[in-house]
Amino acid sequence: MIHCHVCGAGTEGGTRWVPDKHQSLCLRCEIAMPPKMTRSEFGLLYWGPGFEAKVPSSTQAEFYEDYLTSNLSFRQYVLSTTSLD
């Protein structure tokens, strides 16, 4: 049985793989979720070129998981997780 990656709903909630969001989502979460990028696209845009050697893989995974399950676009996610001070 497939479950929603965000809320845990099963197939009874209409859960299915959503390609442009790169995860399994129920209908409710799919509607609320903006399109998402792949993990490699995220890493390159979030940390910059060569991020694989600079950022521990566990940190990459945590940030991508957080981004993937948030209802934020990439731009909104960057603004909410970085400081411009």
Mean pLDDT, 10 residues at a time, the chain of 85 residues: 90 90 94 94 96 96 95 95 78
- Cβ distance 23 to 37 under 8 Å? no
This prediction's pTM: 0.83
- For residue 11, the model assigns a pLDDT of 84
Q: What is the pLDDT of residue 65?
A: 95
Residue 35 makes CB contacts below 8 A (sequence gap 6+) with 20, 21, 73
Work out the number of other CB atoms within 10 angstroms of the CB of residue 74. Answer: 16
